[in-house]
Chain A
Amino acid sequence: MSANMKKSRWLPHPFLSVALWLIWLLLNNTFSAGHMVLGAVLAIVIPILTAGFWQERVCVRAPMTLLKYLLVVLWDILVANVVVAKLILSPNRTLQPGFFVIDLDARHPLAISLLANTISLTPGTVSCDLSKDRKQLLVHALHLEDEAGTIADIKTRYEAPLNKVLPPC
C-alpha cells in the first residue's frame, strides 16, 4: 500500500467490497447466513490486500443515471444484435466496414474503459485502440454508413452518462 493514500484503511473501496460480496453469494448460489458472513470477511480482506492495484479513486455520482445507462445499453445490445445478424447473413459485398476515431471527453480511466467495453459489447462496433494520451479511441465498425452520426450517437448515448456517473476526481 502506498503511503500517500488517504482513504479509509478498512474499507478502501466500498463498491468493490459490495461487488465481491454479491459475487461470492452468487458463486455459491446461496443466501445462507454462513456464506454471508464468510463473504463479508472476504469482501473486507481482499480489497485491503489488493489496494496497491487500485490507485485511482472511484467516486460514483448520479446512481439513477447509471441505472438508466445500463438499461439503454441492454436495449441497444438487443436491437443491434438483430441488425448485425442481418448484416452477417447479407452478402459480403454489401458491407461497408470502416474505422473511425472518437475524440474522448471522458477523463476518468474507469469511464474510458467502460465506454470502450460498451462499444465492443454493442454489436457492430469493436473498440480497437486507445491513443497514448487517452484522448482518442479508434473503433472498427462492421457497417459504417454515417460516420458523424455514429460518433454523435456513441457520445450522447454512452459517453455523456458515463461522464456524469464517473467524473474525474
Chain B
Amino acid sequence: MEWLLSALILIGAGFTLVGSIGLAKLPDFYTRLHGPTKATTLGVGAILIASAVYFSLHQSLSLHELLITLFLFITAPVSAHLMAKAAIHIRTRSIQRTQNKPEFDSEHR
C-alpha cells in the first residue's frame, strides 16, 4: 500500500512539475495557459487521492479531499477562461504560426 501511495504522490508531483515547466517554456500567453490547468487536474488529483486513502487507512474516513478536487475542477477552468477572454480582449499577441487567430473584437464579443 505504501508503495502504491508513494507512486501516486510521485506521479502527481511529476505532472505538477511538467505543468510548471510548460508555464516557463511555452512560447506565448495562450499556450502558457495550458500548463497550470493541466497541473491542477491530474497532478493535484493524484496527490489528493493518495492523501484521502492514507488518512482513511490511518485515521478515520477522510473524504474532504474530494471537496478540494471539486472546487479546483470548478474554479480552474473559470479562471483560465477569464484570463483567455481578457487576453483576447486586449489583443495579446499569439505566436506567428497560431492557426486561425480570432478576428479581434468583431465576432467574439
A98 near B38 (CB under 8 angstroms)? no
B50 to A: closest C-beta gap in Å: 16
Give the distance in Å from the alpha carbon of A132 to the alpha carbon of B62 in the complex.
Answer: 43
Is the CB of A11 closer than 8 A to any CB of chain B? no
B73 near A127 (CB under 8 angstroms)? no
Give the distance in Å from the alpha carbon of A26 to the alpha carbon of B95 in the complex.
Answer: 44
Is the CB of A20 closer than 8 A to any CB of chain B? no
Number of residues of chain A lying within 8 A (CB) of chain B: 38
User: Which of the segments A2-10, A59-67, A84-92, A160-168 contacts the partner chain?
Assistant: A84-92
B51 to A: closest C-beta gap in Å: 12
A121 near B31 (CB under 8 angstroms)? no
Inside 8 A of A131's CB, which chain B residues have their CB? 107-109
Inside 8 A of A98's CB, which chain B residues have their CB? 98-100
Inside 8 A of A92's CB, which chain B residues have their CB? 25-27
Inside 8 A of B95's CB, which chain A residues have their CB? 97
Inside 8 A of B66's CB, which chain A residues have their CB? 26
Inside 8 A of A118's CB, which chain B residues have their CB? 77
Residues of chain B from 1 to 41 with CB closer than 8 A to chain A in the complex = 15, 18-19, 21-22, 25-28, 30-31, 33-35, 37-38, 41
Instruction: Give the B-binding residues of A (Cβ under 8 A).
Output: 23, 26-27, 29, 77-78, 81, 84-85, 88-89, 92, 95-100, 116-121, 123-124, 126-129, 131-132, 136, 138, 140, 142, 144, 147
